[in-house]
Amino acid sequence: MSSKDRVVLAYSGGLDTSVAIGWIGEQTGREVVAVAVDVGQGGEDLEVIRQRALDCGAVEAYVADARDEFASEYCMPALKANALYEGKYPLVSALSRPVIVKHLVKAAREFGATTVAHGCTGKGNDQVRFELSIKALAPELKVIAPWRMTELWPFRSREDELAYCRQKGIDLPFDASHSYSHDRNLWHSSHEGLELEDPAQEPMLEELLLLGVSPKQAPDAETLLRIGFEKGVPVSLNGKEMRLSELLRRLNELGGNNGIGIYDLVEDRVVGMKARGIYEIPAVTILLKAQSCLEALVLDRETLETKRTLSEKFASLLYEGKWFTPLREALQAFFSSTQELLTGEVRLSLYK
């Protein structure tokens, strides 16, 4: 078989995508290359994940470290634009999909694959974001989405998936209990699904939170901090210069410890459903606040007004997966130019 018939799979290391390696191989008769992209999701060591892909039958397994690129080329433009989908949701997952796809396409070319496979279901936004990005960057690539192939995909539960692995002698460190749909990167952690789908249910915050504590558990004390911006880019914390990915990590910690940046919201998905999610977005919440303090001092009234109008458009474009479009580039250039004027240090007080 020619190596050109390979399939590149977006691999997370979880049970679903681990099972998909073997299943895609069997269904298509093709070799599977597993690609994991590090956007700061944390959790298991990526070398462990890489080895798991090989144990599950991938011919190649490859990990791309995209943390700095994700922070500066994807998160920063959204911050500069104050991008909030429907005026409230700071996009988070939507920002990581284009950079993940960029690396999938690169791997497809490197390993001679003609098809990309992803683990999104037919209910969410991520399938749209993956596929629009793939089509924009590499229209020649075909796409397989096993979770949408409901007629063919034989697994109805995690127990089915585990049984399939056991039968193939693959031992995975997962159990059969249902879990939330979870996503995490440098920008956030989020949970959807299970009882959260009923907006009448109070979220069990203490169980869900991964980046910090709830306001109820936060200390009754103030944390003071200083954030330095250079031409619209946050470059320092309390006078210490640091890389953006590191700054995000630190601010997530400080904000998380103070119960800052927890969102319980219902959003309108691209596919026409409403979805309720619990988001932890401490660093972004702090940075948006700091940025708006500087903007209020520096930008003129008409620029601020135009920014607000275009920001809404920018946020919906990103939410809908239209990252690789001329309109996104043009709007991004506008926001970059307004933010060029923002240099200075902002003092903030964090209190729950």
Catalytic: which of 18, 50, 126, 183?
126
Identify whether the C-beta of residue 11 lies closer than 8 Å to the C-beta of residue 39: no
Residues from 179 through 198 that contact ligand ARG (CB under 6 A): 181-183, 190-192
39/184 Cα distance (integer angstroms): 8
Instruction: State the minimum distance, in angstroms, from the CB of residue 348 to ligand ARG.
Output: 26
For residue 351, what are its two tokens? 């209190």
Query: Does the annotation count 16 as an active-site position?
Result: yes
Contact 166, 69 (CB under 8 A): no
In this complex, which beta carbon is closest to ligand ARG, that of residue 67 or of residue 191?
191
Tell me whether residue 300 is one of the annotated catalytic residues.
no
Please select the residue that binds ligand ARG; options are 93, 115, 311, 332, rule is CB under 6 A.
Answer: 93
Among 53, 83, 94, 237, binds ligand ARG (CB under 6 A): 94
Q: How far is the CB of 125 from ligand ARG (least distance, A)?
A: 4
* DSSP strands (E only) in the chain: 6-10, 32-38, 60-65, 113-117, 142-144, 181-185, 188-192, 223-230, 233-237, 240-241, 262-268, 274-280, 344-350
Q: With contacts defined by CB under 6 A, how many residues of the chain interact with ligand ARG?
A: 12
Residue nearest to ligand ARG (CB): 183
Amino acid found at 80: K
Decide if residue 123 touches ligand ARG (CB under 6 A): no
Q: How many CB atoms lie within 10 A of CB 130?
A: 24
The H-or-E segment that residue 62 falls in is: strand 60-65
What is the nearest approach in angstroms of ligand ARG to the Cβ of residue 275?
A: 5
> What is the maximal distance between C-alpha atoms in the chain?
66
Of residues 218-277, which lie at the interface with ligand ARG (CB under 6 A)? 267, 275, 277
Residue whose CB is less far from ligand ARG, 195 or 340: 195
Task: Verify whether residue 97 is a known catalytic residue.
Answer: yes
Q: Which is nearer to ligand ARG, 41 or 339 (CB)?
A: 41
Instruction: Decide if 55 is catalytic.
Output: no
Stretch that binds ligand ARG, among 8-16, 175-183, 296-304, 332-340 (CB under 6 A): 175-183
CA distance 109 to 103: 10
Long-range contacts of 43-46 (CB under 8 A, 24+ apart): 43/13, 43/184, 44/13, 46/13
Q: Can you give the binding site for ligand ARG, defined by CB under 6 A?
A: 93-94, 125, 181-183, 190-192, 267, 275, 277
**Catalytic residue annotation:** 16, 97, 126, 181
